[in-house]
Chain A
Amino acid sequence: AQTVTQSQPEMSVQEAETVTLSCTYDTSESDYYLFWYKQPPSRQMILVIRQEAYKQQNATENRFSVNFQKAAKSFSLKISDSQLGDAAMYFCARGGAGSYQLTFGKGTKLSVIP
């Protein structure tokens, strides 16, 4: 089975600081997509950022950016200027170009310290 691994079950960051969440994945495909979702205590799954594997350029969305290393099959999320509202579970997910299934990691719980 192709897997997505988030090696940090929990992390914490000081408010206004920067934190990086790690994700590695397994795939035999050359064309695929990667996502980071945020799940706050409300349980709503919110898309944070998306990366197409065929694009060299790392995706960015305001304070959120990724470091996509295709050869290493690594897809880390960097949160800059952390805010209290960033506290949540973060899930990394991989989707294949020809597949309907998203494969999720087990999540990283991020705490933001005021």
Chain B
Amino acid sequence: DAGITQSPRHKVTETGTPVTLRCHQTENHRYMYWYRQDPGHGLRLIHYSYGVKDTDKGEVSDGYSVSRSKTEDFLLTLESATSSQTSVYFCAISGDSGGTGETQYFGPGTRLLVL
């Protein structure tokens, strides 16, 4: 299994509070991704990174920001959480071949509840 951890694994927070989710990898892969999973929607890409300090938006990026200061860490921040951001968040990584020709491997997920 790819060495990917996510923290926290579960979080309950209140509307309007900031939340940061962390993804940590030990594979030295260049590409990292954040997805959200909601019933009836499958997984949707929020943001991705193609290198340290290199990030870009995905399909559902509104209300989210990301940062990557080290190869191994990719942070997802909800600046002011809303109930619509209640979801399961997955981090994924892929290797140096890049793009999506390279298989993406997923972390265990973080369940976030915004009250």
Contact = CB atoms under 8 A, between A and B. Distances in A.
A25 interface: no
A39 to B, nearest CB: 9
Contacts of A106: 40-42
A47 B100 contact: no
Contact of B45 (A35, A42, A45, A101): A101
B28 interface: no
A95 B43 contact: no
B43 A102 contact: yes
A96 B102 CA distance: 10
A100 B50 contact: yes
14 contacts: A4-B42, A42-B108, A43-B108, A43-B109, A44-B108, A45-B43, A46-B106, A95-B100, A95-B104, A96-B100, A100-B33, A106-B40, A106-B41, A107-B42
Given A91-B42, A97-B101, 11 more contacts: A33-B101, A45-B90, A45-B106, A95-B100, A99-B99, A99-B100, A100-B33, A100-B98, A101-B100, A104-B44, A106-B42
Interface of A: 4, 33, 35, 37, 42-47, 50, 52, 91, 93, 95-102, 104-107
